[in-house]
Structure 1
Amino acid sequence: MKALSSHHRWNTPAIYLLNVTLYTRFHETLALFPAHVPVFVNAKVQERYGAALGSRQVGVIDAERPITLKPLMEALSSGAALVALDTDQRGFQAVARYATERRIPVIPVYGHSLVIDEEHPLPFDDPRSALDTLQHFLFQSYMGPRTVASVNLFDELVQSARYYGEDRVIVKDMMGSARYRDVLLQSYVLGTALRRMIRRHRVGVMLPNSVGHVVVLFAMFYAGLTPVMLNYSSGVQTVVDACETAGVDVILTSREFIEKGQLQELEQALTARYKLHYMEDVRKEIGLGAKLAGLWAFRRRRPAHPGSNEIILFTSGSEYRPRGVVLSHGNIYANVQQTRSVIDFGTEDRMLNAMPMFHSFGLTAGALLPLIAGIQVYLYPSPLHYKRIPEICGQERSTILFGTSSFLEKYGQNATPEQFAHLRYAVAGAERLKPEVEQAWLQKFGLQIMQGYGATETSPIMSLDTPINHKQGSVGRFLPGLRYRLEPVDGIEQGGLLHVQGPNVMKGYLVHGEGFVEQTGWYNTGDVVDVDEDGFVTIVGRLKRFAKIAGEMISLNLVEQLAARAYGDPAFAAVSIPDPARGERIVLVTTHRGLTLAPMRDLVDRMGYSRMHVPAEIRVIDEFPLLGSGKTDYVTLKAMVEKGRA
């Protein structure tokens, strides 16, 4: 594309806005603008491209210091200016706000395709539309030339390593650290060995948060294999059901992990059915041929082998067995870039993640996002160590911490202000943020917890509350690229049933006994939400028959089925009510008096389900409220339980 040379264009006040990413062709983009057009950058762009800027008139913008915007204002009095920022959400919004208030056009520039999009400037008259347009522009810039269907996460890791520096330490755990170079080399070698060792494309993964787990995932991505992420905390039967659902007969795990996690019972049950490969043995048995082939591929930075480019996680199913959620690499990559489009995550940050990678929040936000975005991440194997995690946060000078509301509550109770002194962001997901937790963090640490909302089926984040765009009680605004519609629900006046479409929405489900069921059209979240005039989302309630306990989804239908079996009678109904400690708790309602929970506990243990399936209490009612169809009226029953009338 030739440089634009219209004298009138460059002498008319306008801001040409460039989001500098790893796919930006910076030198070529700069050449689109005449030498007399001033360029304003942030410190990151100046450091990386100072030589390319050469003799041009250059100003440095720092959104934390509004005075640095003054030279830009002066330049705009006589003509156009190019503003090029890297990972600077606050800077982008400050520039856009200044321009739109003064009705100065803000024109997107796409550095990966060398397109100056003068047909779609930011709108002047609607602040919400202006912000939506800005964040959509940032999202498209981060996606670069990639389409969702073309993404392989291993290839993206290679690109990120090249951009941020292969000698950059990118991941740590209790045993040590690894540079991008180390992760790549080990992934090439292990991936080569796995291709020769495993013939099935879906492989179970049962490992803790660690550098080794990251290497296993990227080795599988390179080898064209599909990781099936197994929730080892969900009980023997649930893990077996998950393996059956995904058609898994090979599982990668670790002897040390099984020993330290006291998972011998689960190991025994899985060994009887499947082939377990222990990573300690796999690494020892890698032959010279695989090592040399892996080293050769590493030196050439060979692209990943062809494969389905998928990863499978699990969520509760209506038939009491877990459903496999099939996410493409593109779904996850899009969600990473959507998130980066609304909040600043930069190379100066240090993330601490104890959320397990079998959980979509722990996988996408806590592991893959930092490696793709050049953020150093410390992976800790358990979120339950409430004293140790704040200690590590202080030692590592962590700036970003992930957790559920319940976990953040415990961390806050055990942490000193000094241990959290470097935190910029604490992000809550997987369950509703409790107001008392939010207030406690504000009082003790002066830090506003950000609340995210999502689902495994959306990779997982749909909306995110941020310090720049915050509304008390909301879960923020929908991420760019995600479309939504609200369907009216009988009996609910405010809000509607949320349906979404977007690049982060799953490919489909794996259903036990049925196989793959493609997701087409709008995805029904099962949640009732309200969206205000500024785009902020408030969760009204859930329609699905599940309880969310400490971030885990527990089927209330399954609880009823277990109760009927434990007590030899079907006259039970399970409802969930708010719980200050764990988000929700299950109440089992019956017409029978004098029952205890002991038979329920015994059955749950015998069948290999987790203790979360045991209700918190039993309540007695004279008769169940019924709908006109004769089915139990759960809405009325839940209200009775909450009001103490059952």
Structure 2
Amino acid sequence: MVRSPYPDVEIPDVSIHEFLFGDLDESRLDAIALVDGMSGATTTYRQLLGQIDLFAGALAARGVGVGTTVAVLCPNVPAFATVFHGILRAGATATTINSLYTAEEIANQLSDAGATWLVTVSPLLAGAQAAAERLGIDADHVIVLDGAEGHPSLPQLLGEGHGAPDVSFDPATHIAVLPYSSGTTGRPKGVMLTHRNLIANVSQCRSTISLADDDRVLAVLPFFHIYGMTVLLNFALRQRAALVTMPKFDLVEFLRVVQEHRTSWVFIAPPIAVALAKHPLIDQYDLSAIKVIFSGAAPLDGSLASAVANRLGCVVCQGYGMTETSPVTHAIPYDRPEIDRSSVGMLLANTEARLLAEDGTDVEIPPEGVSDPGELLIRGPQVMKGYLNRPDATAEMLDAEGWLHTGDVATATHEGVFRIVDRLKELIKYKGYQVAPAVLEAVLLEHPSIADAAVIGAPDEDGQEVPRAYVVVQPGAELDADAVMAHVAAHVAPHEKVRQVVFIDAIPKSASGKILRKDLRARA
């Protein structure tokens, strides 16, 4: 077993609202909390707190409170913070929905989560309304933030002037949020995260991620995803930084917002790192305000991290986590340049880990060098309460001793530095050898003519599994399959060679940046 090298931090027994805002200093009230990256409009901490209380009061006046689940279908706009924290302030549970979901997918989540209210915006209203009608949710329970006929709007609710209610619940057991797991390896499940889970993870991040109150943080990662929810909506606000919101990723807008608003911390997923390392547009913008780029949600290769750091003159860090761990369990500290950038760093405070070999025994951590790979198990206060209404799935994920089985394969050093090799189900078995797709993807991305790549196992003419690479070629570049295979072969062991190459316009990915291997397998 490996324990965090950091001393344990205290986890207060309060609500997430009290934890985030209860000790907000008077001197910070008029500091900027949120900036609309599109319009430049600002919201101070004083204004945000007032809006949260008023929204919570309006919900409470309509009977929303402990026991109510409110769904949020909304892109990253400043009002999201008001709505999200207003729901939690009222004692209700928030379930956040992917903005790209179809009406059917929205309805499925609403039904599974037991949501009786839905908050959205007019551009997403068609799908939201269709889903609500399917489930019998009345129009007056569908709040459209920017207004739509027949629905309550945010200005209307705030204008009613209801104060925040007095609510009582146990922070250790009360479900604050119900995000849904990505579904890349099965049907999405509601992840029950308590107020204590969220508070624990923010407290743990504070000892490792050195975000300060004079930082401006780019919020392009979706708030509906646990990464954006915890690290941006919760952690960044707890650190009293300013959040600069973007409703979706567009490279030109991303670069404009970073340049115009001088964002110092940029939290990303690896696909954005690929663009920052390789796209010619980067050189046309002043990105000198960036101090730290922090990547998560999928593995970031060390050479790609170095390419971004060298091009932008900033520090690039990486972390690891899961929806089921609120999400952060590992991070590379900002002030530890000697740590391998292809690693996910060290365990956060209050966190323990084990590596399990295929035979179920613990992998030994050697006194020098790197351990053998094993499935990563996590235990700590950030680990979920369980899956909503899925005791079977919960039992598969969480054992009797509180260890969460991540399904990810990792290695560790005696210094406590972890590296994710791949997911158990994604490992390719080539003639009995294990081949990790992430390793091959990192090699592929080193080729100057390759803009993006993904690797899966696919059958050959004999029906045996071989590594197949899906490759996106840089605009204007010429590349053939033989050149791709030769490039990989020059950098890996013989059993790891790419045996098939398919050229593709874009690699399918989730909103959080994970490669959708199931979509690629469907094409195989």
Relative to the length of structure 1, the TM-score reads 0.59
1:546/1:271 Cα in 2 relative to 1: closer, same or farther (>3 Å)?
A: farther
Quick check: 1:501 aligned with 2:379? yes
1:136 maps to which residue? 7
1:245 maps to which residue? 112
Quick check: 1:425 aligned with 2:287? no
- Partner of residue 271 from structure 1, selected from 113, 133, 156: 133
C-alpha separation in 1, matches of 2:185 and 2:324: 17
The answer to whether the Cα contact below 8 Å between 2:75 and 2:99 also exists between their aligned partners in 1 is: no
Quick check: 1:381 aligned with 2:247? yes
Greater Cα shift, 178-187 or 339-348: 339-348
The answer to whether the Cα contact below 8 Å between 1:206 and 1:252 also exists between their aligned partners in 2 is: yes
Quick check: 1:538 aligned with 2:416? no
C-alpha separation in 1, matches of 2:112 and 2:458: 29
Any idea what SS the aligned residue of 2:24 has? helix
C-alpha separation in 2, matches of 1:181 and 1:576: 48
After TM superposition, give the deviation of residue 583 of structure 1 in Å: 6.4
1:613/1:483 Cα in 2 relative to 1: closer, same or farther (>3 Å)?
A: closer
The answer to whether the Cα contact below 8 Å between 2:179 and 2:225 also exists between their aligned partners in 1 is: yes
1:9-88 alignment to 2 at 5 Å? Answer: none
1:158/1:265 Cα in 2 relative to 1: closer, same or farther (>3 Å)?
A: closer
1:351 maps to which residue? 217
Any idea what SS the aligned residue of 1:178 has? strand
**How big is each residue's C-alpha offset from its partner over 1:336-381, in whole Å with a ceiling of 9 and x where there is no partner?**
1211102321111111110001111111112211111111111111
Q: Which residue identity is paired with 1:192? A: G
Q: Which residue identity is paired with 1:180? A: Y
C-alpha separation in 1, matches of 2:427 and 2:390: 18
The answer to whether the Cα contact below 8 Å between 1:155 and 1:304 also exists between their aligned partners in 2 is: no
Any idea what SS the aligned residue of 1:342 has? coil
Quick check: 1:179 aligned with 2:36? no
The answer to whether the Cα contact below 8 Å between 1:160 and 1:372 also exists between their aligned partners in 2 is: no
Any idea what SS the aligned residue of 2:357 has? strand
The answer to whether the Cα contact below 8 Å between 2:288 and 2:313 also exists between their aligned partners in 1 is: no
C-alpha separation in 1, matches of 2:79 and 2:73: 12
Q: Which residue identity is paired with 2:157? A: I
- Partner of residue 204 from structure 1, selected from 71, 91, 99: 71
**How big is each residue's C-alpha offset from its partner over 1:132-153, in whole Å with a ceiling of 9 and x where there is no partner?**
2xx315x33xx4xx1xxx3312
C-alpha separation in 2, matches of 1:514 and 1:499: 18
The answer to whether the Cα contact below 8 Å between 1:426 and 1:450 also exists between their aligned partners in 2 is: yes
C-alpha separation in 2, matches of 1:526 and 1:182: 43
The answer to whether the Cα contact below 8 Å between 1:464 and 1:479 also exists between their aligned partners in 2 is: yes
C-alpha separation in 1, matches of 2:422 and 2:74: 34
The answer to whether the Cα contact below 8 Å between 2:71 and 2:118 also exists between their aligned partners in 1 is: yes
Quick check: 1:161 aligned with 2:15? no
Q: Which residue identity is paired with 1:422? A: A
1:471 maps to which residue? 339
1:527/1:583 Cα in 2 relative to 1: closer, same or farther (>3 Å)?
A: farther
**How big is each residue's C-alpha offset from its partner over 1:185-221, in whole Å with a ceiling of 9 and x where there is no partner?**
1111111111222546111110111110000011111
Q: Which residue identity is paired with 1:183? A: L
1:208/1:304 Cα in 2 relative to 1: closer, same or farther (>3 Å)?
A: farther
Quick check: 1:399 aligned with 2:281? no
The answer to whether the Cα contact below 8 Å between 1:352 and 1:378 also exists between their aligned partners in 2 is: yes
1:188/1:405 Cα in 2 relative to 1: closer, same or farther (>3 Å)?
A: same
After TM superposition, give the deviation of residue 515 of structure 1 in Å: 9.9
After TM superposition, give the deviation of residue 443 of structure 1 in Å: 2.6
C-alpha separation in 1, matches of 2:15 and 2:169: 9
1:396/1:317 Cα in 2 relative to 1: closer, same or farther (>3 Å)?
A: closer
The answer to whether the Cα contact below 8 Å between 2:302 and 2:343 also exists between their aligned partners in 1 is: no
- Partner of residue 486 from structure 1, selected from 344, 355, 358: 355
**How big is each residue's C-alpha offset from its partner over 1:82-117, in whole Å with a ceiling of 9 and x where there is no partner?**
xxxxxxxxxxxxxxxxxxxxxxxxxxxxxxxxxxxx
Quick check: 1:340 aligned with 2:221? no
1:514/1:433 Cα in 2 relative to 1: closer, same or farther (>3 Å)?
A: closer
- Partner of residue 193 from structure 2, selected from 280, 304, 327: 327
After TM superposition, give the deviation of residue 514 of structure 1 in Å: 7.6
Q: Which residue identity is paired with 2:29? A: E
C-alpha separation in 1, matches of 2:27 and 2:382: 25
- Partner of residue 234 from structure 2, selected from 368, 386, 401: 368
C-alpha separation in 2, matches of 1:347 and 1:204: 30
C-alpha separation in 2, matches of 1:539 and 1:319: 18
C-alpha separation in 2, matches of 1:407 and 1:437: 11
C-alpha separation in 2, matches of 1:420 and 1:410: 14
The answer to whether the Cα contact below 8 Å between 1:452 and 1:461 also exists between their aligned partners in 2 is: yes
C-alpha separation in 2, matches of 1:396 and 1:158: 25
1:496/1:164 Cα in 2 relative to 1: closer, same or farther (>3 Å)?
A: farther
1:395/1:335 Cα in 2 relative to 1: closer, same or farther (>3 Å)?
A: same
Question: Whose RCO is larger (CA < 8 A, sep 6+)?
Answer: 2
The answer to whether the Cα contact below 8 Å between 2:184 and 2:517 also exists between their aligned partners in 1 is: no
2:495 maps to which residue? none
- Partner of residue 527 from structure 1, selected from 405, 408, 421: 408
C-alpha separation in 2, matches of 1:387 and 1:502: 40
1:330/1:584 Cα in 2 relative to 1: closer, same or farther (>3 Å)?
A: farther
Consecutive unaligned residues in structure 1, runs of 5 or more? 1-127, 548-574, 598-609, 620-646
After TM superposition, give the deviation of residue 240 of structure 1 in Å: 2.9
After TM superposition, give the deviation of residue 484 of structure 1 in Å: 1.4
The answer to whether the Cα contact below 8 Å between 1:587 and 1:617 also exists between their aligned partners in 2 is: no
The answer to whether the Cα contact below 8 Å between 1:232 and 1:239 also exists between their aligned partners in 2 is: no
C-alpha separation in 2, matches of 1:511 and 1:612: 27
After TM superposition, give the deviation of residue 418 of structure 1 in Å: 5.6
Quick check: 1:454 aligned with 2:325? no
Any idea what SS the aligned residue of 1:387 has? helix
After TM superposition, give the deviation of residue 303 of structure 1 in Å: 6.0
Q: Which residue identity is paired with 1:271? A: E
Q: Which residue identity is paired with 2:121? A: S
After TM superposition, give the deviation of residue 327 of structure 1 in Å: 0.9
Greater Cα shift, 182-191 or 583-592: 583-592
Consecutive unaligned residues in structure 2, runs of 5 or more? 364-370, 429-435, 446-450, 464-501, 503-514
Relative to the length of structure 2, the TM-score reads 0.72
The answer to whether the Cα contact below 8 Å between 1:457 and 1:506 also exists between their aligned partners in 2 is: yes
1:617/1:576 Cα in 2 relative to 1: closer, same or farther (>3 Å)?
A: farther
1:271/1:545 Cα in 2 relative to 1: closer, same or farther (>3 Å)?
A: farther
After TM superposition, give the deviation of residue 446 of structure 1 in Å: 2.2
1:417/1:504 Cα in 2 relative to 1: closer, same or farther (>3 Å)?
A: farther
After TM superposition, give the deviation of residue 230 of structure 1 in Å: 0.8
- Partner of residue 282 from structure 1, selected from 145, 150, 153: 153
**CA root-mean-square deviation:** 3.5
Any idea what SS the aligned residue of 2:55 has? helix
The answer to whether the Cα contact below 8 Å between 1:364 and 1:459 also exists between their aligned partners in 2 is: yes
After TM superposition, give the deviation of residue 314 of structure 1 in Å: 0.8
2:485 maps to which residue? none
Q: Which residue identity is paired with 2:238? A: I
C-alpha separation in 2, matches of 1:234 and 1:584: 23
> Larger helix proportion, structure 1 or 2?
1
**How big is each residue's C-alpha offset from its partner over 1:420-472, in whole Å with a ceiling of 9 and x where there is no partner?**
21111100000111344223213311223101111111111111112322422
**How big is each residue's C-alpha offset from its partner over 1:487-518, in whole Å with a ceiling of 9 and x where there is no partner?**
22249981322211111111111256989879
C-alpha separation in 1, matches of 2:205 and 2:242: 17
